[in-house]
Amino acid sequence: MSLRRTLIWGLPTLAYAAFVRWYTDFGGPLDDDEIEVYLARLDTPDHSDEDRERIGRFMKTDTGRQFLMMNAIDYADNPPDVAGAEPGESAAKLMDRYMKHMYAELFKRACHPTLMGNAVGDAIDLVGVDDLETAERWDAGAVFRWRSRRTFCDIVTIPETAGRHEFKVAALDKTISYPIETQLNLGDPRALLGLLLLAAAALSDLLTTPTGRRR
């Protein structure tokens, strides 16, 4: 293979391999020692026993795969004052304070939002919800991609995360967040990037091949 073709196909391959290595957690499911370390980090006044129990169950059922966190959001009309924020700050400002920290921690660990938007109506379908008046009203929704449960625990056990979480709590009247592991995900960046790099390399190879050799 010529140097030209080696570069055309080799550089995208290396770039894709580097991206997949960064974007994917190859560590497998959390082991018992890791779980104990994370539980010890959660043993602080900032985390309740219920928090530790809930996150503990989440760790012990780890599959090693990425997951998406589904978030239904209802902002507070009159959020309380919070230490570290200016008196009378809006829910949006308080949430910005929380997300400024979270985005930095998420992006450097290959975690990111995949879908965000404002609600354009009340809940269309409600089943098994007792408080109908509360459950039907939401302001926004968001879906975040997490590289793994290991990455999730890395972030939630950072001391600053617990402190910033108070801003999120004050900004919301209610929220529901729960994780899912995808059975179908047509928007996975690994697949999209692979297809784009493959197409770009093939096109570059075609355009730089002398006319007489395109047979």
Arithmetic mean of pLDDT, 186-193? 85
Contact 92, 165 (CB under 8 A): no
More confident residue, 9 or 210: 9
21 CB-near residues (< 8 Å, 6+ apart): none
**What is the model's pLDDT at position 213?**
58
- pLDDT tens per residue, range 120-177: 999 888 888 866 678 889 999 999 999 999 999 999 999 889 889 999 999 999 999 9
**Whether residue 212 has pLDDT greater than 60:** no
Confidence of residue 109 (pLDDT cuts 50, 70, 90): very high
> Among the residues of the chain, which ranges form H helices?
3-23, 32-41, 49-60, 91-107, 132-135, 149-156, 159-171, 189-208
More confident residue, 7 or 93: 93
What pTM was computed for the model? 0.86
Amino acid at 98: Y
Q: What percent of the chain has pLDDT over 70?
A: 96
* Residue 18 structure tokens: 């580097």
Arithmetic mean of pLDDT, 71-99? 95
**Whether residue 106 has pLDDT greater than 80:** yes
**What is the model's pLDDT at position 132?**
67
Arithmetic mean of pLDDT, 65-73? 97
Contact 179, 146 (CB under 8 A): yes
